[in-house]
């Protein structure tokens, strides 16, 4: 039963077969480069778009029960490591990219929540949201998806705890530290209003994300059908002990969310790249994208920003090597 859900519901293999038949009817050989590229592009674009819309609707409906004011109150009830854990878990039901998470991070910090807790939230939000769990399950399988999310949460909790223990509060910009917090109770939404909110979030997020899906799937199709497997294996395979480091460094300047990076990761894995190397690339793109770091610099001073980058980078690299070591167990 689970194999059916994995392959046909989440993986949509029936859709791949249907598109393959359609491409063949157009006179293209799906085993050729051009035919394979067209099939890959259409299949991944449609699959990710359908999953994206369903996931955003469901997650946004859940989000409607956790407006920023309520989230702040929830986080304020916990202390120590438990507060970091709750902050990291709260990040799984919030925005889908790091640039969207930073305004919430600023709001939580200016409200007086512990800095380590807000950083645990900031790390986990783009890296391990519920959407990434389902998408990873659809492509890499349940084991990989669950371990990925657990490792992402571990990085978030440890990173936030370290920042709190080092007492980096003076390195938050003055306007945030001196901001006055005003508690305003959010209105209780009706069932209809929650559904409208979820629908609006689908439309808004889709408009922002779809160009990155097309770009990611296009790059994935290029890798899958045009780049020789020996090239990928030599650079990101088992023969290169620094593949994880290279993938992480390459991922940082890029800007995309989980929906745009997954098709690239899928193609790289299919061409011989190691699992941990591919996942390290995904984590780096979603968590440490250059635009998000520029936004974060407006809220924190260079020393704290550098510490945040160092913690995330080291954590991502360690997780990448761990995944490479246990790859035979997972897939």
**Which among 128, 148, 166 has a CA at the least distance from the CA of 308?**
166
**Which among 61, 103, 102, 55 has a CA at the least distance from the CA of 262?**
55
Q: Are the CB atoms for 131 and 258 separated by under 8 Å?
A: yes
**Which among 306, 330, 199, 216 has a CA at the least distance from the CA of 262?**
216
**Which among 290, 261, 278 has a CA at the least distance from the CA of 316?**
278
Q: Are the CB atoms for 120 and 87 separated by under 8 Å?
A: yes
- What is the predicted pLDDT for the residue at 276? 93
**Which among 244, 249, 178, 204 has a CA at the least distance from the CA of 100?**
204
Instruction: For tokens 């109150």, name the residue.
Output: 73
What does pTM read for this prediction? Answer: 0.83
- What is the predicted pLDDT for the residue at 18? 92
Distance between CA atoms of 115 and 96, rounded to whole angstroms?
21
| Coil, strand or helix at 141 | coil
Task: Sort residue 12 into left (φ over 0), alpha (ψ -120 to 50) or beta.
Answer: left
- What is the predicted pLDDT for the residue at 181? 52
Q: Are the CB atoms for 73 and 86 separated by under 8 Å?
A: no
- What is the predicted pLDDT for the residue at 185? 57
Distance between CA atoms of 211 and 197, rounded to whole angstroms?
23
- What is the predicted pLDDT for the residue at 157? 95
Q: Which residues of 96-106 are buried (b: 16+ CB within 10 A; e: fewer)?
A: bbbbbbbebbb
**Which among 49, 121, 64, 57 has a CA at the least distance from the CA of 91?**
121
- What is the predicted pLDDT for the residue at 240? 87
Distance between CA atoms of 121 and 117, rounded to whole angstroms?
6
Q: Are the CB atoms for 23 and 39 separated by under 8 Å?
A: yes
Distance between CA atoms of 116 and 295, rounded to whole angstroms?
19
CA-CA distances (angstroms) from residue 1 to 5, 8, 51?
7, 10, 20
pLDDT by residue for the chain (331 residues), tens digit each?
A: 767 777 777 788 888 899 999 989 988 888 898 999 999 999 999 988 898 888 888 878 887 887 767 777 777 788 888 989 998 988 887 655 666 677 778 878 877 788 999 999 888 887 887 777 887 888 888 889 899 999 999 999 999 999 999 989 899 888 887 765 545 555 677 888 889 988 998 898 888 888 888 988 998 888 888 888 888 888 888 888 899 999 998 887 776 667 778 888 888 888 889 999 999 998 888 888 777 888 888 889 999 999 999 999 999 999 999 999 999 998 7
- What is the predicted pLDDT for the residue at 311? 92
The token pair that represents 177 in the structure block: 């530290």
Instruction: For tokens 């950083």, name the residue.
Output: 119
Q: How many residues belong to the chain?
A: 331
- What is the predicted pLDDT for the residue at 183? 52
Distance between CA atoms of 312 and 96, rounded to whole angstroms?
18
């Amino acid at each position: 039963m689970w194999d059916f859900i994995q392959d046909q519901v989440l993986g949509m293999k029936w859709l791949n077969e249907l598109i393959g038949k359609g491409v063949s009817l157009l006179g293209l050989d799906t085993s050729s480069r051009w035919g394979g590229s067209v099939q890959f592009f259409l299949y991944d674009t449609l699959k990710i778009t359908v999953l994206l819309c369903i996931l955003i609707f469901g997650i946004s409906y859940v989000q409607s029960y956790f407006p920023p004011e309520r989230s702040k109150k929830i986080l304020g009830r916990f202390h120590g490591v438990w507060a970091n854990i709750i902050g990291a878990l709260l990040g799984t039901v919030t925005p889908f990219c790091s640039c969207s998470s930073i305004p919430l991070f600023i709001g939580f910090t200016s409200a007086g929540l512990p800095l380590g807790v807000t950083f645990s939230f900031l790390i986990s939000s783009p890296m391990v949201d519920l959407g990434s769990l389902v998408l990873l399950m659809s492509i890499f399988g349940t084991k990989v998806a669950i371990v990925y999310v657990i490792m992402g949460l571990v990085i978030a909790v440890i990173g936030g705890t370290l920042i709190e223990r080092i007492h980096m509060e003076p390195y938050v910009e003055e306007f945030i530290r001196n901001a006055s917090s005003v508690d305003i109770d959010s209105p209780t939404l009706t069932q209809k209003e929650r559904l409208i909110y979820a629908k609006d979030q689908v439309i808004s997020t889709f408009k922002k994300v779809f160009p990155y899906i097309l770009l990611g799937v296009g790059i994935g199709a290029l890798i899958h059908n045009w780049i020789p497997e020996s090239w990928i294996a030599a650079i990101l395979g088992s023969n290169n002990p620094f593949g994880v480091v290279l993938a992480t460094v390459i991922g940082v300047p890029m800007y995309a969310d989980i929906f745009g990076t997954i098709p690239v990761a899928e193609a790289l894995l299919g061409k011989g790249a190691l699992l941990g190397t591919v996942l390290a690339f995904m984590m780096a793109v979603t968590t440490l994208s250059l635009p998000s770091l520029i936004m974060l610099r407006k809220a924190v001073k260079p020393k704290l920003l550098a510490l945040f980058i160092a913690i995330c980078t080291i954590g991502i690299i360690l997780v990448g090597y761990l995944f490479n070591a246990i790859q035979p167990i997972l897939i």
